[in-house]
Structure 1
């Protein structure tokens, strides 16, 4: 790459990560950008997850870009359609849309050592070269399907929450819901209001807190729009309220007690039946798995047409679900609320680094990266929302903006130096991840529960063990000395 030349950049995905990354690069003067999107529109997880009741569990003023704030959110916690509309608007007003190639899936990417470029194999047999590759596919892009015998034998209607069949009429139907994660907590009340019978198959009970949601009054929206600094003040007040909760996950267990009390009060108030309450009482420590928020989940489970089944599922038959006690639960439809393959970063793409090293081989013991962004042996390659950058206490958009700044600094360094490639040093990566895993070992996530934060072997590849402002400090400036540079 010639000294002072702006690198060519390929970005995969058009969710918050892809749109925000492109906008930040453009604001820094980089315009040689191509964004690949396999679907026909932007939005990522907010485009795909359009199930009834889909909404965010982070307040809207913080779950949005600091450089593209929106004063007229309709409510404190926005729903899927409003968030999708926001991302579509951002793609337009930040001049990102013209860089997007829709209906184009990246099948594989391989680093060409001689040219110092990434070679992307695209759907339809096409090929694209770029100096820098940025993966913005996120952790929640691939639905996870349960491994249950006979799943493909079911003769009725079956779909995952991320591929909701809106043409299927649930009215009067017998419905089985498998899974009790964040999606199920949101859609079960809507299914229960329509279906004749709902059987909710629960492997483990989640902790559910009341959701402090409300619509914004017209006067409040007007004030956010017209009073200088008010919207940004609301954003930072929200951040300041959420950020201290990080301590509760990092070994300061007494700090989670108020949330346990809040959960217990809501459970006792909304679930009167002691047998049902016993079924819905979690056995894992609070925070070990994702804490959920809903005001209508528990009331939905008390409806006479809803039954919570805690017997494990043995198999699926053409006409229903068979549990370990031998009972056949006959149903017309099965809805899978089984979440996403979060620990399988970048799958099903094949990413091949310097010297032909396969990223899957590099990650055979679990995904890892320096700052969740760079992997040694994979030059000029960056991930957004990569390993160990997920949060349980604050907004991922804040984390993404920290990553935008760091990656832009890396691209600037490439342009200034005229270097062909930069790859994070292995000793730097190892030291970072050793420290990270030591901190995770002292966290609530290490208390023995099995959820989507950990691999099958128990390694936490998802969560950031600490404050988001600490992550922002760590990513504030790109340090080229931590990278091997090839000219």
Structure 2
């Protein structure tokens, strides 16, 4: 229903990446068709729409990095490049029959819980101006790697050459023969560097912490394999299952016994020896922490690129940036024409949390600042009724596919909405006790993982040293725990219950 300044919907979905699209498709299947998806970008795809830098590709095999309900028999290779993944998401969206409820080029600017109406009032702004939605539920799928993080370096704003973040690549800049600097050696950087090295006159790679990089066991699918995937029942399901279980066993080393990662560490050391001839450069790029403590990367091209004559790996810390150069703490000045910032994303400080105000009148960011970033089952947060995250706190992975986690969370959200319909609940909100117990148990499990004992500082950790990013166990366990909405862990209110002096009714 639309009035002059307010549009009423049952469900408002924020974000049209893998998470938001999955939620839209599954709500539609359930008959929950009164929803709107708002997306700040110009189309579906999320991370895979925005990250178009040279060499962009997935580091999880595509057989698993895709929806279980929309298998793709036409992947060109085991680790598919960005254009193929974006095209896949577009095809799924176009075939879903839900795109008529997507509103693109529209950002959520504010979401406030209205206690009287028991609705979320969501302010949006986009190409059609400002608009307000009143929604019974909000499903937030903003993406964990969606807000680029710029480094705090003195003088960087005064650089007069070309400068851009890896997630906002400027394809109009020709790097041929240029003096280029890349700040960062994470997942994006190791894909970018080999591509830039082929064109740049000189390439400086600024490394703060060396990553562990395993060989990329790439396989290009033959016509026969694609035909089998398409026409022989069960073949692609078996291939997907094999990938899943092959990745799942890595949890034993990451989350249970870090010493079990040693075999992979030896492979990574071999990757360095094969790719780099110079002993001093080998020393520079060899990490001093246990593999898995930071995100483990895969590449066959990164080390050979670093060993090229036109590349320097610089480990001295950056002191400042001038109008045409980078000055390191040892006093060296290196002039450059182009600066590529590959310094990652906001992960332990969710940007969307600053724009959501709950039932106690404070933003989610203010709550997180007081009690730490946490959510019950990575999906719901006390003080924020009827709000569901897809890819919320502690749902990230260091070993497998986030699409698997997304489908698990969407199953939980669907059952929550069914429960609300069946029982006549106006609101559901996790109790503080349930949230605390869940997250205390998570952090207890985290203490014995490689992410806590591996000897490194990573973007997995918040300012207090707590890992609020990753799931510290098997993904099939998470799926089991989110297979049914556990309403007994929630405070609920009935639809007809008066809002004044309101009390929770028993679940």
Q: Normalising by structure 2, what TM-score?
A: 0.94
- Cα contact 2:142–2:352 (8 A) shared by 1: no
Aligned to 2:132: 127
User: How far off its partner does 1:253 sit?
Assistant: 2.0
Q: What displacement does 1:342 show?
A: 1.3
| Contact map agreement 1:345 1:386 (CA 8 A) in 2 | no
Deviation at 1:354, TM superposition (A): 1.0
Conserved 8 A contact 1:390-1:464? yes
Q: CA deviation at 1:66?
A: 0.5
In the alignment, which of 69, 72, 77 is matched to residue 70 of structure 1? 72
Is 1:358 equivalent to 2:368 in the alignment? no
Aligned partners of 2:9 and 2:36 also within 8 Å? no
* Structure 1 range deviating more: 253-262 or 315-324: 253-262
Structure 2 CA distance for aligned equivalents of residues 40 and 204 of structure 1: 35
- Among 279, 284, 287, the residue aligned to 2:284: 279
Which deviates further from its counterpart, 442-451 or 86-95? 442-451
How far did 1:479 drift?
Answer: 1.2
After TM superposition, give the deviation of residue 171 of structure 1 in Å: 0.2
Q: Displacement of 1:182 after TM fit? A: 0.2
Identify the residue that residue 341 of structure 1 maps to in structure 2: 346
In structure 2, the residue matched to 1:383 is 389
Q: Is the 8 A contact 1:108 1:121 kept in 2?
A: yes
Is the contact made by 1:139 and 1:343 (CA closer than 8 Å) also made in structure 2?
A: no
State the alpha-carbon separation in 2 of the partners of residues 223 and 346 from structure 1.
44
CA displacement, residues 17-66 of structure 1 (integer Å, 9 cap, x when unaligned): 00011111111111011000111111000000000000001111110000
Greater relative contact order structure (CA < 8 Å, 6+ sep): 1
Runs of 5+ consecutive residues of structure 1 not aligned to the other structure: 1-5
2:258 is equivalent to residue 221 of structure 1: no
Rounded to whole Å, the distance in 1 between the matches of 2:102 and 2:351 is: 19
Instruction: Give the RMSD, CA atoms, in angstroms.
Output: 1.2
Q: Which runs of 4+ in 1 moved over 6 A?
A: none
How many residues are treated as equivalent by the alignment? 482
- Within 2, Cα distance between the matches of 1:347 and 1:483? 23
- Name the counterpart of 1:158: 163
SS at match of 1:433: helix
Contact 2:353-2:365 within 8 A present in 1 as well: no
Find the partner of 1:31 among 30, 33, 53: 33
Aligned to 2:498: none
Instruction: Kindly state the Cα deviation for residue 429 of structure 1 after the two structures are TM-superposed.
Output: 0.5
Gaps of 5+ in 2: 1-7, 495-507
Paired position in structure 1 for 2:486: 479
**85, 92, 95: which one pairs with 2:94?**
92
- After superposition, what is the alpha-carbon deviation per residue over 1:254-280, rounded to whole angstroms, capped at 9, x for unaligned? 310110111111111211110000100
CA-CA distance at 1:426 after TM superposition: 0.8
Q: Hey, what's the Cα distance between the residues in 1 that align with 2:149 and 2:426?
A: 38
Q: Hey, what's the Cα distance between the residues in 1 that align with 2:196 and 2:171?
A: 12
Match of 1:149 in 2: 154
Identify the range of structure 1 (423-432 vs 6-15) with the bigger mean alpha-carbon deviation: 6-15
CA distance in structure 2 between the aligned counterparts of 1:426 and 1:339, rounded to whole angstroms: 32
In the TM superposition, residue 246 of structure 1 has moved relative to its aligned partner by 0.7
TM-score under structure 1 normalisation? Answer: 0.97
- 1 CA distance for matches of 2:90 and 2:353? 26
- TM-aligned CA deviation for residue 74 of structure 1: 0.9
Partner of 2:504: none
Cα contact 1:107–1:349 (8 A) shared by 2 = no
Note if contact 1:106-1:349 (Cα within 8 Å) is conserved in structure 2: no
Secondary structure at the counterpart of residue 175 of structure 1: strand
For residue 188 of structure 2, give the secondary structure of its aligned residue in structure 1: helix
Q: Tell me how far apart the structure 2 counterparts of residues 406 and 426 of structure 1 sit (CA, whole Å).
A: 19
Deviation of the 1:125 alpha carbon: 2.8
1:227-306 equivalent positions in 2, closer than 5 A? 227-306=232-311
**Aligned mates of 1:54, 1:69 — CA distance in 2:** 21
Q: Map of 1:381-420 to 2, 5 A cutoff?
A: 381-420=387-426
Residue of structure 2 in register with 1:470 after alignment: 477
DSSP 3-state at the match of 2:360: helix
What is the SS of the residue equivalent to 1:158?
strand
The Cα shift of 1:417 comes to 1.7
**SS of 2:25 mapped into structure 1:** helix
The residue number in structure 2 matching 1:321 is 326
Return the offset for 1:348: 6.7
The aligned residue for residue 426 of structure 1 is 432
- Distance in 2 (CA, whole Å) between partners of 1:55 and 1:29 is 35
Give 2:57's aligned residue: 55
**Residues 349, 358 of structure 1: CA spacing in aligned structure 2 closer, same or farther, 3 A cutoff?**
closer
Partner of 1:3: none
CA offset at residue 138 of structure 1?
A: 1.3
Compute the displacement of 1:7 (Å). Answer: 7.5
Question: SS state of the match for residue 152, structure 2?
Answer: coil
Cα pair 2:15 2:141 within 8 Å, conserved: yes
* Structure 1 residue 201 corresponds to structure 2 residue 203: no
1:240 shift after superposition: 1.0
Q: Does 1:459 align with 2:461?
A: no
1:152 CA drift (Å):
0.4
Which of 347, 365, 375 aligns to 1:369? It is 375
In structure 2, distance between residues paired with 1:336 and 1:211: 24
Task: Work out the CA distance in 1 between the residues paired with 2:270 and 2:27.
Answer: 47
